[in-house]
Amino acid sequence: MEPEAGEKREFPERDIGEETDAKDVKKPKTETADTNKYAFTPGGCSFPSSSSLKLGFSGVIERGHIYFFHRPKVEHQEVHSIDDVRHLMILLVPGPPEFSVHGGSEVQRKYVSDTSEMNLVAQGADAAPAPASMEDKKHFRLIIIGKKSLPDPERGRHDPFWATVIMVGENLHDLEEGLGGKSYETKTRGTRHVAPVRLAGRGVYAIVNSEGNVPSKNSTHLGYHLSHPTELGDVQQALGIHIASSFVIQVKNPDAEVQAGQRVGLPKSRRADYSEGIMKNVFGRGEKGRSSVGLRFTNCNCIELLDHEGAELLLIPARTGAEGNDQSLGEGRGEALEEVSRRESEELVDQIFNELALHKDRFPAEPLKGSWI
């Protein structure tokens, strides 16, 4: 789905540190253009395309833990309502699958208490992440939402929203610095202060590629299920966070321009710098019968599309609830996420901050329980 012609959208300013000059941005390694490598398949880019794949089959390209943060407006040390919120952010921390129908380690099996539970989780085993580790070095990506709250899938699927990947890293200590409070200088207002983010939700997620009966029906869904909180409070309701929900993900072509005079998207210097292989074989740059830059939007053929700072995303509301996630993700994956989140809901708030390598005394925890602060 593409936005209507002339639709205006504005991205908030970069929220992690100062804006980096284009020459200082670390470029990803150049990859050999390989059509099969970037073909849309249930397993993502790691698997070559194959005519033997059944239409309608779906596959997980990533699973892990998801966290929702909001940051107060500049010079606001407290947040009393959505009016005091500056940004809404989503943190994705990928992880390995917890269960396998072929077995697994004792740690992976320790939560399985009976045969019926194993049968339930095994149906969506590829979507269920292993318990979050306490290691500092983890791959993560921080995504900033173009609105203060997520649109409600229950009110219709015609309210897409924009998001941008603003930070990708391998060390959570770097993330803590970005999410903490900071001060900066301005020419007209002097020193300005920004308070640290607030954690408003934590859960598990899976990103799934689904093949339709024709290529145009292929889709990528992100579905999540909260472990904390187990009941929505004022904060979650205001931010549009559900206990369980799913969205269609589409990725914007960084070469696709907008009409002159429109203030939309990111400037060229801050857009994702994809490899030639991705631009040619995913977006179709240079293909006959298309514009010179290729498709304006594409499904998330491979998770690598999300691992570039400046990646611009179009998120389309799909469904809510575990049953809705089952429909979006397929093959019992909504139930699997629900089961994992139920078990992990017993974890203490201190443990959540530890798995993120965040110092709890620097980040207010009350919003996780539904209260503004």
**Could you tell me if 337 and 225 are in contact, meaning their C-beta atoms sit under 8 angstroms apart?**
yes
Q: Answer for the pair 9, 3: CB distance below 8 angstroms, yes or no.
A: yes
Mean pLDDT score, 334-363: 95
> Exposed, middle or buried: residue 157 (CB in 10 Å: 0-12, 13-18, 19+)?
middle
Residue 331 lies in a domain: yes
Q: Which amino acid is at 313?
A: L
Tell me the C-alpha to C-alpha distance, in Å, between residue 297 and each of 215, 301, 370.
14, 11, 36
Indicate the average pLDDT of the chain.
82
Q: Look up residue 11 and give its DSSP letter.
A: P
**225 pLDDT tier (thresholds 50, 70, 90):** very high
Greater model confidence, 17 or 134? 134
Question: How large is the average pLDDT for residues 307-325?
Answer: 95
Q: What is the pLDDT of residue 214?
A: 85
pLDDT bin (cut points 50, 70, 90) of residue 288 is low
Residue 7: inside a domain, yes or no?
no
Q: In sequence order, what are the residues at sequence separation of 6 or more whose Cβ sits closer than 8 angstroms to the Cβ of residue 329?
A: 58, 60, 124, 127, 206, 208, 221, 223, 246, 337
With CA atoms as reference, report the closest residue to 128 among 304, 358, 329: 329
Beta bridge partners of 142: 91, 167
Domain that holds residue 306: 41-368
Is 373 within a domain?
no
Tokens of 117: 């539970």
In a domain, 205, yes or no: yes
Q: What is the pLDDT of residue 154?
A: 81
From 285, 284, 265, 355, select the one nearest 66 (Cα to Cα).
355
CA distance 155 to 158: 9
Q: How many domains does the chain contain in total?
A: 1
pLDDT at 160: 85
Per cent of the chain over pLDDT 90 is 56
- pLDDT at position 60 is 93
Mean pLDDT of 199-218: 92
Q: What is the pLDDT of residues 43-78, one digit of tens each?
A: 555 433 333 333 334 689 999 999 999 999 999 989
Which pLDDT band, with edges at 50, 70 and 90, does 38 fall under?
Answer: confident
Is the pTM value of this prediction over 0.85?
no
Q: What is the mean pLDDT of residues 73-86?
A: 94
Residue 193 domain-assigned? yes
At 373 the pLDDT is 87
Q: How many CA atoms lie within 13 A of 333 on its CB side?
A: 30
pLDDT of residue 333: 95
Reported as a single tens digit per residue, the pLDDT across 95-124 is: 999 864 334 444 444 444 444 444 444 668
Q: CB-side exposure of 197: number of CA atoms within 13 Å?
A: 25
Task: Please indicate, yes or no, if residue 218 is contained in any of the structural domains.
Answer: yes
pLDDT tens-place string over residues 151-196: 888 876 668 889 999 999 999 999 998 999 988 888 898 888 999 9
Asked, for residue 336, whether it belongs to a domain, the answer is yes
Q: Is residue 35 very low, low, confident or very high in pLDDT (cuts 50, 70, 90)?
A: low
* Bigger pLDDT: 226 vs 2: 226
Assess if residue 124 is contained within a domain. yes
pLDDT reading at 8 higher than 80 = no
pLDDT greater than 70 at residue 32: no
Burial class for 80, CB neighbours closer than 10 Å (0-12, 13-18, 19+):
exposed
Higher pLDDT, 219 or 123: 219
Mean pLDDT of 74-93: 95
9-23 confidence digits (pLDDT tens): 444 445 554 444 444
Assess whether pLDDT exceeds 90 at residue 231.
Answer: yes
